[in-house]
């Protein structure tokens, strides 16, 4: 081939490939071209959609638990190919793919379905409940655990989790305190952000990540008297300073979606609340993902008394800013008509559809709609995943009392493990266990046998059930206790006593459990109380008679291993409470960051103490830490200034240990009455025995000393502020 022929060939092939490219461009719509920008793809697809297709994108139905032909075939056939989303109750990628195929091949435009699910504290590798996670004060670990959940879920066909729940909650009667990170706004913000990062990573299209959902926007944790689904009374001040901060941080962290709440906020339901959904979330904060209603929350606007029928409920929720209807069948039935009647504008509809499509594009669903089929053992319970869950469970355990160093146990030849929780697997997983299998968990009894192998004989007896009046097991329990050198009594709550629709009127343990403990106390042996629950418990009768008390919350699959590690000394406990343990139920709501009162020295209860049994932040270690004085880089600062405050902490005990330093601020004199103290930062570090570590809080005056007005604006006043760590504080003067 001579030079000219070569050049002509080159031109010919360039021409042919350009033609082929042109051809492809003409045949393949822009929205299907992975190389195009997400916004262009969204716009292109939207321009091709009919009203009905748009409306269908805004609905979420459910897809059942298994692929059993009797039970699944119909539902798969019933699901419209144009549906926007499904709640996916299965862990089988094959089933997802079957349904997705229908959407891709039978809908006119081939729009993939987004599959959502409640992956709350793990998918198959269930790790501790969120309330416990916060007691670890280790957001890095929580991020890792959420990444494990994301990987297991996405590889099983789930693209989107309805998590994290970042509802500040101060009433332990409410079953859902288990699902959030406790009573403090900053704590909820930090752990909410950690989970968003763990779920989403840097790229939603990563086949091991899922989209997150901040819920329940907003104020659900303030449900009156701890009853579920009811009303809340929240002032603007409290809304902005207590309930909003975790959501603002979650949105800043890039959470793809939010879920509207069931409750009303001083009369306006979260699901019809234009101010918080449209004005604040979308306009002020610029969130460009979508909001899904809670399950049935749109049609519930009727019983809530703000809509006369489902159509009006659809209108109110949609115009307020709820883009996706979770199991109400209200948008699919009424939204089209509402648009045709001019009650919902085309612009608003288009904006809603764009938000849903945007998240789908970001998840890569248009380019990879199907989940790669893998074996369960390739995605579940991987050694690395189990190690993260176990470490998180270890760090979540809070040692509440340890009289005369009862723990760690040593020199015992016979150990009795008694109580309804002693050999339970099921209840250790807590509520919202996703695809968790109790058989994967180790009981406390099993774990202790292993840890004490060759050192002590471990004997077990239930003694009684979690509730009821059957005392027939007491005798055997007493016999086992009498023949031991120490008694570990494992009490607590059934898994179903917390979570959604699981309120209790008292946070005390059922009487039969308390009685069992009192009977065992009579044996005169060291008595160690191990608790498992989804909420703080009322322990005032039990506390004085126990030598040691620890709570393992609901630890998930690691089960009894971490707590057995603490009892045997394999693990040095480092958890601290993320929620106050009241002295008794009658103190509720009781939380550390209450406002200043008119007569702090008076106004006490006449019949019970007015202080909690265990404060927020309480938690013991097997070592001791000595805090030095706080040192500030400057004692005067401008409102836009920065200050660094340091505190040295020395491990003065005889074992290595992890310590969390909680940094609080207070503003004793302000235009409005502010909380007695507010957590603004925390840090956990390992400190070797004899070693001193310096902890440092970099203060941004406006961010950390400021307050949010009832219009949602952050401001800082001139005056004296205090930075507080334990009983030490330093005064900082702020002036212009
Ligand atoms: C709960 C949500 C949950 C949803 C889907 C609702 O009842 O309040 O937290 O995500 O159901 O299961």
- Confidence check: pLDDT of 7 > 90: no
Q: Look at ligand 1, atom 6, and give the residue with the nearest C-alpha.
A: 295
- Sign, CA dihedral 622-623-625-626, equals positive
To test ligand 1's pocket by mutation, which of 88, 120, 162, 220 has the most ligand atoms within 8 angstroms of CB?
A: 162
Are 522 and 659 within one domain? Answer: no
Are 510 and 570 within one domain? Answer: yes
Residue 6's pLDDT band, with cuts at 50, 70 and 90, is: very low
Are 550 and 674 within one domain? Answer: no
Q: Report if residue 438 sits inside a domain.
A: yes
CB 529 within 8 A of CB 542: yes
Q: Pick the last residue of a domain from 533, 568, 587.
A: 587
Q: Is residue 295 within 6 Å of ligand 1 at its C-beta?
A: yes
Are 558 and 420 within one domain? Answer: yes
Least confident of 62-76, 299-313, 468-482, 658-672: 62-76
Helices (H) and strands (E) in the chain, counts: 20, 27
**How many percent of the chain have pLDDT more than 90?**
94
Residue 144: CB partners within 8 Å, gap ≥ 6? 198, 388
**Ligand 1: which atom is nearest the Cα of residue 215?**
9
| Burial class of 603 by CB neighbour count within 10 A (0 to 12, 13 to 18, 19+) | exposed
d(Cα 294, Cα 38) in Å, to the nearest integer? 27
Token pair belonging to 235: 């002032």
CA 117 to ligand 1 centroid distance, Å: 9
Q: Report if residue 344 sits inside a domain.
A: no
Are 570 and 426 within one domain? Answer: yes
CB 505 within 8 A of CB 535: no
Q: Report if residue 448 sits inside a domain.
A: yes
CB 646 within 8 A of CB 613: no
Strand order in the sheet with 457-461: 398-402, 548-551, 527-532, 486-492, 414-418, 457-461
Q: Is residue 217 within 6 Å of ligand 1 at its C-beta?
A: no
- Confidence check: pLDDT of 675 > 50: yes
Q: Is residue 176 within 6 Å of ligand 1 at its C-beta?
A: no
**Residue keyed to tokens 């027939």:** 472
d(Cα 341, Cα 312) in Å, to the nearest integer? 13
Are 410 and 534 within one domain? Answer: yes
Are 713 and 646 within one domain? Answer: yes
Token pair belonging to 170: 């101060």
Q: Is residue 162 within 6 Å of ligand 1 at its C-beta?
A: yes
Residue 308: CB partners within 8 Å, gap ≥ 6? 302
Q: Look at ligand 1, atom 11, and give the residue with the nearest C-alpha.
A: 295
Q: Is residue 500 within 6 Å of ligand 1 at its C-beta?
A: yes
To test ligand 1's pocket by mutation, which of 174, 500, 501, 503 has the most ligand atoms within 8 angstroms of CB?
A: 500
* Residue-level pLDDT at 167: 98
Q: Is residue 215 within 6 Å of ligand 1 at its C-beta?
A: yes
Which of the 8 DSSP states describes residue 275?
I
Q: What is the mean pLDDT of the chain?
A: 95
Token pair belonging to 53: 């297709």
- Confidence check: pLDDT of 140 > 90: yes
Q: Is residue 294 within 6 Å of ligand 1 at its C-beta?
A: yes
DSSP E strand boundaries for 437-517: 457-461, 486-492
708: domain CATH number?
2.60.40.10
**Ligand 1: which atom is nearest the Cα of residue 116?**
5
CA 216 to ligand 1 centroid distance, Å: 9
* Predicted TM-score (pTM) above 0.75: yes
Which of the 8 DSSP states describes residue 440?
G
Q: Is residue 118 within 6 Å of ligand 1 at its C-beta?
A: yes
Residue 405's SS3 state is: helix
Q: Report if residue 283 sits inside a domain.
A: no
* Residue-level pLDDT at 18: 41
Strand partners, 398: 551
Strand partners, 650: 626, 692
**Residue keyed to tokens 């179903």:** 496
DSSP string, 106-153: HSSS-PPPEEEE--SS-SSS----HHHHHHTT-HHHHHHHHHHHHHHH
d(Cα 426, Cα 118) in Å, to the nearest integer? 19
DSSP string, 89-102: ----HHHHHHHHHH
- Confidence check: pLDDT of 420 > 90: yes
Are 511 and 657 within one domain? Answer: no
CA 218 to ligand 1 centroid distance, Å: 14
| Domain membership of residue 661 as a residue range | 625-734
Pairing of strands 548-551, 527-532: parallel
Q: Look at ligand 1, atom 7, and give the residue with the nearest C-alpha.
A: 295
**Residue keyed to tokens 């050198």:** 485
Kindly state the average pLDDT of the residues 726-734: 98
Kindly state the average pLDDT of the residues 213-231: 98
- Confidence check: pLDDT of 64 > 80: no
Q: Look at ligand 1, atom 8, and give the residue with the nearest C-alpha.
A: 294
**Ligand 1: which atom is nearest the Cα of residue 213?**
10
CA 261 to ligand 1 centroid distance, Å: 9
Q: Pick the last residue of a domain from 587, 609, 639.
A: 587
* Residue-level pLDDT at 621: 98
CA 430 to ligand 1 centroid distance, Å: 16
- Confidence check: pLDDT of 577 > 50: yes
**Residue keyed to tokens 């189990």:** 386
416: domain CATH number?
3.40.50.1700
Q: Is residue 228 within 6 Å of ligand 1 at its C-beta?
A: no
d(Cα 242, Cα 183) in Å, to the nearest integer? 9
The set of catalytic residues is 294
pLDDT tens profile 559-575:
999 999 999 999 999 99
Q: Look at ligand 1, atom 4, and give the residue with the nearest C-alpha.
A: 295
| Burial class of 337 by CB neighbour count within 10 A (0 to 12, 13 to 18, 19+) | middle
**Ligand 1: which atom is nearest the Cα of residue 165?**
9
Kindly state the average pLDDT of the residues 350-364: 98
**Ligand 1: which atom is nearest the Cα of residue 327?**
5
d(Cα 450, Cα 443) in Å, to the nearest integer? 11
**Ligand 1: which atom is nearest the Cα of residue 163?**
10
Are 576 and 685 within one domain? Answer: no
Are 426 and 509 within one domain? Answer: yes
Residue 673: CB partners within 8 Å, gap ≥ 6? 595, 596
CB 657 within 8 A of CB 623: yes
Q: Report if residue 417 sits inside a domain.
A: yes
Residue 551's SS3 state is: strand
Q: Report if residue 81 sits inside a domain.
A: no
Q: Report if residue 195 sits inside a domain.
A: no
Per-residue 3-state assignment (H helix, E strand, C coil) for 202-239: CCCCCCCCCECEEEEECCHHHCHHHCCCCCECCCHHHH
The 10 Å Cβ neighbour count of residue 607 is 7
Phi-psi region of 381 (alpha: psi -120 to 50; beta: other; left: phi over 0): left
The 10 Å Cβ neighbour count of residue 66 is 13
* Residue-level pLDDT at 26: 65
Q: Tally the domains of the chain.
A: 2
Q: Report if residue 244 sits inside a domain.
A: no
- Confidence check: pLDDT of 347 > 70: yes
Residue 75's pLDDT band, with cuts at 50, 70 and 90, is: low
Number of residues assigned to the chain: 736
pLDDT tens profile 18-29:
444 444 456 899
Are 578 and 649 within one domain? Answer: no
The secondary structure of the chain in percent helix, strand, coil, rounded to multiples of 5, reads 35, 20, 45
* Residue-level pLDDT at 63: 86
Pairing of strands 631-632, 707-708: unpaired
- Confidence check: pLDDT of 728 > 60: yes
- Confidence check: pLDDT of 265 > 60: yes
Q: Look at ligand 1, atom 2, and give the residue with the nearest C-alpha.
A: 294
**Residue keyed to tokens 């941080």:** 249
CA 500 to ligand 1 centroid distance, Å: 8
Are 430 and 560 within one domain? Answer: yes
* Residue-level pLDDT at 8: 44
- Confidence check: pLDDT of 70 > 60: no
CA 307 to ligand 1 centroid distance, Å: 22
pLDDT tens profile 482-517:
999 999 999 999 999 999 999 999 999 999 999 999
CA 120 to ligand 1 centroid distance, Å: 10
To test ligand 1's pocket by mutation, which of 294, 434, 499 has the most ligand atoms within 8 angstroms of CB?
A: 294
């Amino acid at each position: 081939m001579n030079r000219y022929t070569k050049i002509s060939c080159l031109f010919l092939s360039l021409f042919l490939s350009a033609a082929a490219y042109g051809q492809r461009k003409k045949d393949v719509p822009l929205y299907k071209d992975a190389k195009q920008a997400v916004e262009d793809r969204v716009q292109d697809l939207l321009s091709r959609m009919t009203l009905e297709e748009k409306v269908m994108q805004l609905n979420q139905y459910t897809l059942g638990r298994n692929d059993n032909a009797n039970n699944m075939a119909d539902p798969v056939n019933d699901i419209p190919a144009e549906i926007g989303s499904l709640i996916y109750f299965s862990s089988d990628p094959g089933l997802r793919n079957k349904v997705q195929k229908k959407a891709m091949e039978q809908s006119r435009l081939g729009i993939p379905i987004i599959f959502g699910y409640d992956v709350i504290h793990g998918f198959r590798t269930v790790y501790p409940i969120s309330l416990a996670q916060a007691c670890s004060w280790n957001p890095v670990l929580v991020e890792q655990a959420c990444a494990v959940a994301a990987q297991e879920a996405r590889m099983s066909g789930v693209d989107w989790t309805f998590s994290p729940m970042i509802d500040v909650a101060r009433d332990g009667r409410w079953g859902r305190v288990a699902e959030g990170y406790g009573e403090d706004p900053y704590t909820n913000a930090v752990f909410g952000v950690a989970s968003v990062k763990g779920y989403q990573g840097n790229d939603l299209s990563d086949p091991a990540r899922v989209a997150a959902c901040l819920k329940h926007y907003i104020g659900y944790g303030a449900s009156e008297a701890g009853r579920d689904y009811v009303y809340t009374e929240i002032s603007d001040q409290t809304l902005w300073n207590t309930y909003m901060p975790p959501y603002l941080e979650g949105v800043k962290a890039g959470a793809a979606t939010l879920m509207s709440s069931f409750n009303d906020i001083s009369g306006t339901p979260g699901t019809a609340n234009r101010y918080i959904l449209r004005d604040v979330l979308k306009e002020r904060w610029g969130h460009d993902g979508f909001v899904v209603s809670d399950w049935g929350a749109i049609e519930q606007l009727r019983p809530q008394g703000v809509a006369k029928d489902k159509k009006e409920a659809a209108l109110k929720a949609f115009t307020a800013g709820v883009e996706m209807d979770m199991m109400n069948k209200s948008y699919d039935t009424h939204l089209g008509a509402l648009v045709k009647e001019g009650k919902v504008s085309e612009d608003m509809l288009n904006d809603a559809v764009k938000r849903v499509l945007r998240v789908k594009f970001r998840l890569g669903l248009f380019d990879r709609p199907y989940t790669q089929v893998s074996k369960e053992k390739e995605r579940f319970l991987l050694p690395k995943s189990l190690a993260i869950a176990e470490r998180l469970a270890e760090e979540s355990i809070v040692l509440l009392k340890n009289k005369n160093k009862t723990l760690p146990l040593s020199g015992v030849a016979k150990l009795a493990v008694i109580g309804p929780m002693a050999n339970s697997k099921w209840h250790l997983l807590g509520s919202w266990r996703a695809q968790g299998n109790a058989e994967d968990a180790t009981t406390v009894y099993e774990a202790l046998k292993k840890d004490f192998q060759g050192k002590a004989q471990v004997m077990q007896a239930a003694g009684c059930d979690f509730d009821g009046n059957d005392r027939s097991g007491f005798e055997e329990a007493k016999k086992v206790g009498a023949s031991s050198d120490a008694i570990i009594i494992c009490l607590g709550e059934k898994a179903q006593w917390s979570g959604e629709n699981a309120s209790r009127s008292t946070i005390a343990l059922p009487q039969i459990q308390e009685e069992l403990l009192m009977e065992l106390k009579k044996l005169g042996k060291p008595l160690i109380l191990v608790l498992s629950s989804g909420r703080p418990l009322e322990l005032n009768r039990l506390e004085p008679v126990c030598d040691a008390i620890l709570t393992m919350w609901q630890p998930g699959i690691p089960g009894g291993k971490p707590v057995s590690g603490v009892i045997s000394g394999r693990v040095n406990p480092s958890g601290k409470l993320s929620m106050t343990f009241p002295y008794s139920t009658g103190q509720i709501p009781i939380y550390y960051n209450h406002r200043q009162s008119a007569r702090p020295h008076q106004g006490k209860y006449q019949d019970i103490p007015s202080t909690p049994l265990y404060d927020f932040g309480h938690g013991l270690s097997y070592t001791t830490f000595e805090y030095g004085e706080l040192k500030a880089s400057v004692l005067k600062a401008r409102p836009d200034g920065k200050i660094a405050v340091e505190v040295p902490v020395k491990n003065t005990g005889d074992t290595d240990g992890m310590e969390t330093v909680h940094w609080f601020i207070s503003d004793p004199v302000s235009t409005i009455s502010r909380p007695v103290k507010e957590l603004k930062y925390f840090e956990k570090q390992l400190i070797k025995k004899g070693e001193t570590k310096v902890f440092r809080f970099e203060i941004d005056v406006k961010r950390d000393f400021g307050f949010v007005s009832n219009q949602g604006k952050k401001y800082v006043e001139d005056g004296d502020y205090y930075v507080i760590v334990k009983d030490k504080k330093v005064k900082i003067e702020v002036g212009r």
